[in-house]
Structure 1
Amino acid sequence: MAVDLGRFGVWHQAEKWGPELASGLEQLGYGALWLGASPDADLRDAEVLLASTQTVTVGTSIVNMWRDDAAAVGASYHRLEEEHPGRFLLGVGIGHRERDGAYKSPYATIVDYLDALDEAKVPVDRRALAALGPRVLQLSAERTAGALPYLTTPEHTRQARETLGRTALLAPEQKVVLETDPDIARSIARDYLAGYLQLSNYTSNLKRLGYTDEDIENGGSDDLVDALVLHGTAVEIADGLKAHLEAGADQVVVQQLGKEGPDLLPGYEALATVLF
C-alpha cells in the first residue's frame, strides 16, 4: 500500500466526525479515519479530517459514482495530496439501485469511472473500490489498491481474500455496540440496520453467505444481527474484530453505534486498550 492504514480504522458518516473525535482517535492509535456515506466531490469533509490530525490516513468510503463526476473528484484528490501528501485514500463505489435514480449497468459504470480516474491521474494504489460480489472484488484487485466491503462478516472476508489474492488491500467495515445486555444491543443494531436491509446490494451478498429471507426480514434474525453488529465487552468485541484479520483482512474498519461525536471516544479507547 502507498499509504499506511494500520490494522484498525474507524468509520463514521460526516455528521459524526469532528476535530475532537478525529484527533482523539489518532492519539489512541487507530490507523485510518474513514468518511462514510457519499462525500461530495470537493472532498471538503475529508480535508477537515486531514487538517484536524497529524499523520493518520483519511479515506472515503465511499464517493458515489452516480453523484460525483470523476474529473472533479480527481481534481479534489490532487488538492488533498498537495496539502497533505501521502495521507489520503480515495474510496469510490457504485451506490445502490434503490437510492440512485440513474442506476444502470453497474459493472460498466465502475469500469468507465475507473478509466476516468486514470485520465485524472489518480494513482491506482491511492484509490480503492467498494466491493462485495466476486466480479467487483476481482476488479478492485485489478484496477485499484483493493476492496472496501461494508456490512459483511468474517466469512465474507475469507471469501473476499481468496478472490482478491494475497496482495490487494482488504478493509472490511464492522459495526459494534459496547453493551453487554443483548436485548439493548440488538435494539440499537436493528434501528441502524433497518435501512441497509432494504438494499439489494447488501441483501444479495448476505444470501450468498447463506442467510435466508427469514434472516433478513423483520429487522433481522438474532443470528444475522449479531454477526453484522458485534456486542459485548471490549474484550469480546475485540475477539470478533480480530476474526476479520484471521480471515485475511489487512485492516478492520470499526463503526461504533449508539453514541454521538466525542461521546464515541470512551468506547474507542476501551477497544484500543485490547486491540493495540
Structure 2
Amino acid sequence: MRRWGLTIPLTGMSLSDHEPVAAAAVAAGYTDLWTSEVNGVDAFTPLVLAAGWQPSARLGTAIVPVFTRGPALLAMSATALAEVAPGRAVIGIGASSPAIVDQWNGLDFTDPFGRTRDTLRFLRKALAGEVVDEEFPSFRIRRFKLDRPPEQPPKLHLAALRPGMLRLAAAEADGAILNWLAAGDVPKVTAELAGAPDGFDVAARIFVCPTTDAGYARAAGKRMITAYLTVGAYAEFHRWLGREAELGPVWDAWSAGDRKGALAAVPDDLVDALVLHGSPAQVRAKLHEYVEGGVRTPVIALVPAPGTDLPAAVTALGPDAEVDSWS
C-alpha cells in the first residue's frame, strides 16, 4: 500500500479547527496523520481527535521522547491511542535532545541509545499484555501490567539517524523514522536497515515551505537548519552523511556564539535539499524522489509562508494532485 503522511497540527491553527483539514487530507490521498512532541501540543491529543474524525487514517507519533514519560505512562498513552484507533496506531519513540529532556523538562539525558532500546523492549512486552518485572540496563520495572492491554497492539517505530539506532530499529522495531535528510541521503541511511523483516516501514518527516518565493523559503530554512543541525545528534548525523565541508563553517560560527555568521554560512543548495519549496508540481516531484530512494511513508511537515492557505497546500501536495498553485 502506498502511504502518504501529514504532520498535524498545522502551525497557527487551533486543534479544534483541524477536522476539515484531516478530511481534506484523506480526500487528497493521504493515508497517515502524524504528530511530533517538542514545545507545542503533546503528541497524543491531536491523534485521539483525528481517530474520531477520520476512521481510515493511520495515526502515528513521530516522536514521543523516551525520557519525558515514565515507561508505564508511555505504555498507557499508547494503549489509549490503540483503543480509539484499533489497527491504525503507530507509536514512534526516540531519544529526543538535551534541550527538550534536560533544559525544558529537568530530566537527566543519560545514555540515550540505552534508554531508547530499553523503552522499546519494555513497550513490546507491556503492550502485549505481559507482566513486566525486569531490571533493564537503564531503568527498573517492578511487576507492571496494563489493566486493559490493547486487542491490537500498536506498531512500534524508532527514530533513527546513524547506524547503531538504525540497526536496532531493523532488528527490533516495526519501522524507522527518519528526519532532516535529503532525498539523495536516503539510500545511505536505508542501507543500514538491511535485514529488516518484510513489511518494515521507513517513514521520513520532510519539511515543505509551500511558496515559489525562494528567498523567503531559504531564509526560513536557514533558521531551521541552524536551530536543528547544530544539535549534537543531528550534527553527527550530517557528518556521517558527509557534510563536514558544507556545515563545518555553520558549526564553527555557532560554537563561537556568532548566530548571524552561522545563518549566513548555510549554503542555499543545502536548504533547497532539506526544506522543499517551489511550485506544488516541483515539490511533489521531490517528494517522490524520497519514495524512489526507499522511504515508504513520506510525512510532510508544512513550514508556513506568507499568504499561503495551508489547508489548500495540503490538498496541493496530495500524492495524485495535479494542481500547480498553492491557493
Q: Which moved more, 1:192-201 or 1:237-246?
A: 192-201
- 2:198 is the counterpart of 1:169: no
Instruction: Name the % identity.
Output: 25
Task: Tell me the number of residue pairs that the alignment of Structure 1 and Structure 2 aligns.
Answer: 270
The answer to whether the 8 Å contact 1:60/1:89 transfers is yes
Amino acid at match of 2:183: P
- CA deviation after TM superposition for structure 1 residue 197, in Å: 2.6
> What is the aligned partner in structure 2 of residue 21 from structure 1?
21
Aligned residue runs from structure 1 range 90-239, under 5 A: 90-101=91-102, 102-121=108-127, 126-165=155-194, 167=198, 168-212=200-244, 213-214=248-249, 218-219=262-263, 220-239=266-285
> What is the aligned partner in structure 2 of residue 64 from structure 1?
65
For 1:274 and 1:230, the matched residues in 2 are separated by 18
> What is the aligned partner in structure 2 of residue 9 from structure 1?
5
- 2:318 is the counterpart of 1:272: yes
Q: Secondary structure at the match of 2:98?
A: coil
- CA deviation after TM superposition for structure 1 residue 273, in Å: 6.4
Amino acid at match of 1:152: L
The answer to whether the 8 Å contact 1:157/1:247 transfers is yes
- CA deviation after TM superposition for structure 1 residue 160, in Å: 2.2
Amino acid at match of 1:63: V
- CA deviation after TM superposition for structure 1 residue 7, in Å: 2.7
Amino acid at match of 2:124: D
> What are structure 1's unaligned runs of at least 5 residues?
none
User: TM-score, normalized by length of structure 2?
Assistant: 0.75
- CA deviation after TM superposition for structure 1 residue 180, in Å: 1.9
2:292 pairs with one of 226, 243, 246: 246
Amino acid at match of 2:292: E
The answer to whether the 8 Å contact 1:146/1:169 transfers is yes
Q: Which moved more, 1:113-122 or 1:147-156?
A: 113-122
Q: Secondary structure at the match of 1:198?
A: coil
Amino acid at match of 1:105: D
The answer to whether the 8 Å contact 1:125/1:145 transfers is no
- CA deviation after TM superposition for structure 1 residue 215, in Å: 5.4
For 1:150 and 1:104, the matched residues in 2 are separated by 22
Q: What are the Cα deviations for residues 139-193 of structure 1, in whole angstroms up to 9, with x where unaligned?
A: 0111111110111112332122211126321111111122223212212323333
The answer to whether the 8 Å contact 1:174/1:255 transfers is yes
- CA deviation after TM superposition for structure 1 residue 47, in Å: 0.6
Q: Secondary structure at the match of 1:227?
A: helix
Q: Secondary structure at the match of 2:229?
A: helix
Q: 1:192 to 1:68 in 2, by over 3 A?
A: same
In our comparison, the structure showing a higher alpha carbon Rg is 2
What is the root-mean-square deviation of aligned Cα atoms in Å? 2.5
For 2:99 and 2:317, the matched residues in 1 are separated by 35
The answer to whether the 8 Å contact 1:80/1:88 transfers is yes
The answer to whether the 8 Å contact 1:126/1:145 transfers is yes
Q: 1:74 to 1:231 in 2, by over 3 A?
A: same
For 1:224 and 1:115, the matched residues in 2 are separated by 37
> What is the aligned partner in structure 2 of residue 257 from structure 1?
303
Q: 1:13 to 1:142 in 2, by over 3 A?
A: farther
For 1:258 and 1:9, the matched residues in 2 are separated by 17
Q: Secondary structure at the match of 1:100?
A: helix
User: TM-score, normalized by length of structure 1?
Assistant: 0.88
Amino acid at match of 2:211: E
The answer to whether the 8 Å contact 2:87/2:153 transfers is no
For 1:124 and 1:150, the matched residues in 2 are separated by 25
- CA deviation after TM superposition for structure 1 residue 125, in Å: 6.8
Q: Which runs of 4+ in 1 moved over 3 A?
A: 12-17, 38-41, 122-125, 191-194, 273-276
